[in-house]
Structure 1
């Protein structure tokens, strides 16, 4: 009995040691990811128009455990400078693009933000660290269910997630200070502009499926007036829904 107890204790200690080692690796990989984002922001300033990212955005990127939002749960994969497949033909964007979209949305602590395309829930988690409330919609049932569970398990209590067609937005959750769309469409959905507050920003990739797309910022400067600017060439999966492909 004593030998069995010692064996169990040894196994528990080994498991704890492995977990601690993995956690330490994740911390290192995440810190390296943030440095890569900073370097990208400097080197691509001419393209993106961003001379650097705010400390709030960098802190959110540095504190959010990206590896918990991908199927492999691998730190080396999660924090690499690349998009990662999450199933059902969808991806989680590369860290720099997530940071760039977040920066362009200019999210403040009292803001309510709409995200179209929950995916794995990672972008929603980043936004949740910056905003008062995040409302996120995913049209693919399996992804919507998995993301909602992950966000709940990680105690992102200021995120409301639902299954649905994001083209129509979420009027009951708005109006919104910012809208972030994580899939490409040839035009900005009018319902999303309607649900955006005056002074608010919408950030999304605009362009053809798997073709030329531009990360675009729409600012609502009056109830019936907006300004639009293309920030950088990007490549996103196509928008899925009643108005998508």
Structure 2
């Protein structure tokens, strides 16, 4: 185990359990999700200078204009997805790899796309440290999804498009669910379920994410 993995988040179970308790009080009900949030060492997904803030319920910068999502929203999106019991899940926006690591402990196959290569490289290293062997990563424009690997039982989008790309919806299997923040300044978390050629939209709660941008960064 690396020195970073042996840091504050691994040794201070009390610190993590305080975060789990805050998430429970905020409305997260799934014990499975809360257990995973208590296990995954969030501090390793941050630069060392910010690791002391890892178990606050807040988003934190990871460079390139991107953020490590607030634990509550990671738990909320994961809980929503878990309710549908998918096996194959596509994540758009690997970012730090934290949400990826959480998903990898709950679902059989994770496919994760990131457009910023240095972030993907760091995420790959962290996921290897955690032995997340059921994760496949791709460097590409996340808005296009990963059609070669579809269809997917579930899709989680970790940055906000103005509207959900149709080509992304078409990568859902029948009965599959997509969870994404949608909008510009006023964003809403949306759950979309595919019913044959119909897509049922359900608006859930206000959120704030970085925008989903096109193109790749090497």
TM-score w.r.t. length of structure 1:
0.81
User: Which one has a bigger Cα radius of gyration?
Assistant: 1
1:78 corresponds to which residue?
A: 54
Gaps of 5+ in 2: none
Of the three residues 208, 213, 219, the one matched with 2:193 is 219
Q: What displacement does 1:73 show? A: 7.0
2:79 corresponds to which residue?
A: 103
Q: 1:84-110, CA deviations, whole angstroms, 9 ceiling, x for partnerless residues?
A: 101111001110010001111126666
Structure (1 or 2) with the greater helix fraction: 1
1:88 and 2:75 correspond: no
1:28 and 2:14 correspond: yes
Q: What displacement does 1:195 show? A: 0.9
Q: Is the 8 A contact 1:178 1:200 kept in 2?
A: yes
Q: Which SS does the other structure have where 2:26 is aligned?
A: helix
Q: C-alpha separation between the residues in 2 aligned to 1:183 and 1:70? A: 18
Of the three residues 133, 146, 158, the one matched with 1:170 is 146
Q: Is the 8 A contact 2:86 2:153 kept in 1?
A: no
1:39 and 2:12 correspond: no
* Structure 1 stretches of 4+ moved >2 Å: 19-25, 72-76, 106-110
Matches within 5 A, 1:1-245: 23-25=10-12, 27-41=13-27, 52-72=28-48, 76-106=52-82, 111-208=87-184, 211-222=185-196, 224-242=197-215
Q: Is the 8 A contact 2:9 2:16 kept in 1?
A: no
Q: What is the number of residues matched between the two proteins?
A: 211
Q: C-alpha separation between the residues in 2 aligned to 1:86 and 1:57? A: 23
Q: What displacement does 1:164 show? A: 0.5
Q: What displacement does 1:153 show? A: 2.5
- Give the 3 Å change call, closer, same or farther, for CA 238–175 of structure 1 in structure 2: same
Q: What displacement does 1:143 show? A: 0.5
Q: Which SS does the other structure have where 2:48 is aligned?
A: coil
- Give the 3 Å change call, closer, same or farther, for CA 199–73 of structure 1 in structure 2: farther
Q: C-alpha separation between the residues in 1 aligned to 2:90 and 2:142? A: 10
Gaps of 5+ in 1: 1-15, 42-51
Q: What is the CA RMSD across the aligned residues, in angstroms?
A: 1.9
Q: What displacement does 1:75 show? A: 5.0
